[in-house]
Structure 1
């Protein structure tokens, strides 16, 4: 039987604006750390004399452990308190970043990247839970999610830019850059973020289910990563998929029979959350993770850009992502989640199609800039809209797990998309294979548009979509985040 929801209303001494800035900065840190490593990889490889497989795992170690621990991180946050987990995760993130920056061999570097992934898996759901429980449903929460999404999604693009700048000094600075964010956010949390005003009475963590859940996601994402590295028919890849299927069955059986499931049964029946998870996977498999992977590869390998030049080339994409997030916060209130998310995926698909059709041109302004600008706009619109729609019907008690479920499917979708594109690109990609890869990513975005239109069909609208909500005067705290 569901237990009473814990109140997380901020006290009068805390500033919602300060809290939103703190949470947005932490989200920027997660996104930055995911993408900043891409342009630094060649320098890391030469500096530590990494093999091709070890270089690929510098990226994959973060993603695999991030995806693997997300749901457990969400439930732990719901159990012990999102603010406590937020602060603990930042400490771990800072330590892991320091270790990565001073690493003298591949083993320590990979351990540091894995620890960063675990820290991010605890940090991500606690951030989303704090956003959704600090701001009440309606215009305030939608505005807050738009600001949070603007900063977070732009962090993916900014990471590539910052990575290019820092790599020109030393690849180690791509790790050290995380330390100021981690320290400042951890120090700001007690002042600006709300704690619990009454003792939590959520169910205890089901340890066995948590282990099964983490193992299921870990080996499944590992299988997708190995598929991109060694091929879909490699024995280790097949063994990972088989182990993932067995663990999934065991986890499902345990969840159905347990009195303390890891994922509350009400979440499995929440249509908007399920559609949000599907949208999240398709977003990462098209305009987010896959596009970043393709554009980075095309610029540095196909067009011989230096890391700094590649970073600068991403600046228009970063700006358009930021703008897309800003307008999505307004469009959700006007069009509703269904129309806004469908439009966002369609815009993203158009941008990817432009990139594919112009892949045979080598001029940046003609061949890449238009497609990057359009897809970046769709990217930003999707990011905000899918989280507004996916978490709108989830109560405060389950916000951590709901956010974790969406982010888990997001990174699993990205891993699957990259694994599929490796097959398309082959070992020596040329203009023709890049064209096919971009068009394939565009087709995935079209599927996302169809899912958004069907999945968020006519039904109950969010508070932000209600006409009376639009007529309310804007709170002072919301207007501060509009820009």
Structure 2
């Protein structure tokens, strides 16, 4: 008979495979989705942001709540519910009935439904694995779970590229059979190994304060990326400032309330465990460094490198995913190896070295020209994947090992919340840096290029286009110049000679114009991310000796025998 631990690993791996696959399918298929519902990229990037960010924002808000509730009512039950809700969300996305703005809003809402299901899966998968595997095998299990997620990411790139070229709705339908299988299988096979503590109460004030504070903070950050009035970003928008400040105030109130209630949703006492707190702080810093990196690399490939190498804008989303596979390969190769090594040698050295490699890789990225040699680029991003894989599995195992069994649902939820929150903040930081630098440099650059091309009459129009719109147009597979020309008054468009239009709408014209400014912005972002990675490495090194909680607390390091505390 198959040992239960392998049943738990296979089932949770199916959930993480589906989650990673879905994320990359949506990322690759966005151009086909937006064309399918008839959305113009120049006045719709708020929908793009919400389709991209909405999932992670909702997950960040819910995972701690769900983890805490799972400790009370049962992790397996909540995990099963997650599969079912995620599947329902996928069906709703496939059936999206509207067009234009209405359809875009429906997609955002249905992605929220998916995110609710995803938060139930994320909050409980690490806890279920930690219960099923003994401490000496936990790193391997968590690492292998992450590697299977990477396979899901690769599958998402390929499947998304194929299905998007057939019919945009099919990109959502592919999740449904996996979701149905996962729901049935989890109900039939997963067992609740630890007895839920029904004596605890649901922390209603804490849940409400935490949810509201994160909503205000993350929504404020999201709208901070969007233009406001004559400003290229919205950080001076009173609503953005008020939202973030109010969210921070409520978050402070939340921590005060949690220190007073008997059964808090956010187990602050976990942070008194040094191994847990240092692992948590390392997660947030690492996510700030790495969370927005993949999206920035996608933009670099789609807006600059691929068009310069003969790829049409329509196919750049798919090929950007293909050319980023070394990043996923590095993580996939190292994830399970690092997890196995952490079971034997502990997490501190492995996770710290991984973060240092990540920081060094980001420094290497700053040396690349915009028309780089792909082999050099692939080597660097492969190294980044190795560093991330070397960090994630041991760090997750360290965090879960340091958590008392009765609080592992809460611990898993905190880990997932830190991951999603850090990723969303990272994207906001990266986008802000890139957009602000482009705003300063791009108008004069475009003016000179248009004058040289004989299209000086376009200067008043093209220099007023927000960098956000131009970047998102390229991200959605549109030639930004063609999209801009389509917005011009007919008398202006007709005054431009056909030869000039042919020149400025060529695949290589716009990338060559914006590339120097874009790379300058990316280098600033990469340097910032590198600093955060090295800071995370310092935090990781301070985690101290390994702490393993089973029936009793056991403190170990490589020089000590295991002794009960």
TM range (shorter): 0.7 to 0.9
User: How many residues of Structure 1 are paired with residues of Structure 2 in the alignment?
Assistant: 456
Cα distance in 2 for residues equivalent to 1:127 and 1:164:
29
Moved more, 50-59 or 349-358: 349-358
Cα distance in 2 for residues equivalent to 1:37 and 1:440:
28
The structure 2 residue matched to 1:89, chosen from 59, 77, 82, is: 82
| Residue correspondence of structure 1 range 1-12 to structure 2 within 5 A | none
Cα distance in 1 for residues equivalent to 2:322 and 2:163:
12
1:80 lines up with 2:73 in the alignment: yes
Per the TM alignment, residue 67 of structure 1 is displaced from its structure 2 partner at its CA by: 0.7
Cα distance in 1 for residues equivalent to 2:415 and 2:434:
28
Deviations along 1:364-406, one digit per CA (max 9) or x if unpaired, are 223x211111001112122202201122211121111111111
Name the SS for the 1:357 alignment partner. coil
Per the TM alignment, residue 342 of structure 1 is displaced from its structure 2 partner at its CA by: 0.7
Name the SS for the 1:36 alignment partner. helix
The structure 2 residue matched to 1:218, chosen from 183, 196, 215, is: 215
Match of 1:300 in 2: 302
Moved more, 227-236 or 392-401: 227-236
Match of 1:435 in 2: 523
Conserved 8 A contact 1:58-1:110: yes
Cα distance in 1 for residues equivalent to 2:556 and 2:14:
27
Moved more, 461-470 or 378-387: 461-470
Cα 1:272/1:112, change in 2 over 3 Å: same
Cα 1:343/1:39, change in 2 over 3 Å: same
Match of 1:380 in 2: 389
Moved over 6 A (4+): 461-465, 468-471
Per the TM alignment, residue 154 of structure 1 is displaced from its structure 2 partner at its CA by: 5.0
Cα distance in 1 for residues equivalent to 2:560 and 2:31:
51
Per the TM alignment, residue 460 of structure 1 is displaced from its structure 2 partner at its CA by: 4.9
Cα 1:461/1:82, change in 2 over 3 Å: closer
1:49 lines up with 2:38 in the alignment: yes
Conserved 8 A contact 1:359-1:434: no
Match of 2:372 in 1: 362
Deviations along 1:101-157, one digit per CA (max 9) or x if unpaired, are 2213112111101111121112111111111111122x2222211211222355445
The structure 2 residue matched to 1:315, chosen from 312, 318, 325, is: 325
Cα distance in 2 for residues equivalent to 1:469 and 1:121:
38
| Residue correspondence of structure 1 range 130-169 to structure 2 within 5 A | 130-137=128-135, 139-153=136-150, 155-156=152-153, 158-169=155-166
Conserved 8 A contact 1:164-1:310: no
Per the TM alignment, residue 435 of structure 1 is displaced from its structure 2 partner at its CA by: 2.6
Per the TM alignment, residue 350 of structure 1 is displaced from its structure 2 partner at its CA by: 2.3
The structure 2 residue matched to 1:32, chosen from 21, 25, 50, is: 21
The structure 2 residue matched to 1:417, chosen from 421, 426, 429, is: 426
1:66 lines up with 2:56 in the alignment: no
Match of 2:244 in 1: 241
Per the TM alignment, residue 165 of structure 1 is displaced from its structure 2 partner at its CA by: 3.4
Name the SS for the 1:25 alignment partner. helix
Cα distance in 2 for residues equivalent to 1:83 and 1:459:
28
| Residue correspondence of structure 1 range 168-183 to structure 2 within 5 A | 168-183=165-180
Conserved 8 A contact 1:286-1:417: yes
Deviations along 1:146-197, one digit per CA (max 9) or x if unpaired, are 2112223554455444433332333323322221221121111133321257
The structure 2 residue matched to 1:324, chosen from 325, 331, 334, is: 334
Uncovered stretches (5+) of structure 1, i.e. residues with no partner: 1-11, 472-483
Conserved 8 A contact 2:346-2:546: no
Name the SS for the 2:401 alignment partner. coil
Cα 1:31/1:372, change in 2 over 3 Å: same
Cα 1:459/1:403, change in 2 over 3 Å: closer
Conserved 8 A contact 2:304-2:370: no
Cα distance in 2 for residues equivalent to 1:468 and 1:191:
43
Conserved 8 A contact 2:275-2:547: no
Name the SS for the 2:262 alignment partner. coil
Per the TM alignment, residue 202 of structure 1 is displaced from its structure 2 partner at its CA by: 4.6
Cα 1:334/1:359, change in 2 over 3 Å: farther
Name the SS for the 2:289 alignment partner. coil
Moved more, 292-301 or 152-161: 152-161
Deviations along 1:74-123, one digit per CA (max 9) or x if unpaired, are 11111111111111111110011111122131121111011111211121
Cα distance in 1 for residues equivalent to 2:151 and 2:221:
26
Name the SS for the 2:166 alignment partner. coil
Name the SS for the 1:40 alignment partner. helix
Match of 1:187 in 2: 184
The structure 2 residue matched to 1:285, chosen from 283, 288, 306, is: 288
The structure 1 residue matched to 2:363, chosen from 348, 353, 358, is: 353
Cα 1:355/1:154, change in 2 over 3 Å: farther
Uncovered stretches (5+) of structure 2, i.e. residues with no partner: 228-233, 436-466, 468-513
Query: TM-score, normalised on structure 2?
Result: 0.75
Of the two, which has the highest radius of gyration?
2
RMSD over aligned Cα, in angstroms? Answer: 2.5
Conserved 8 A contact 1:351-1:373: no
Moved more, 98-107 or 189-198: 189-198
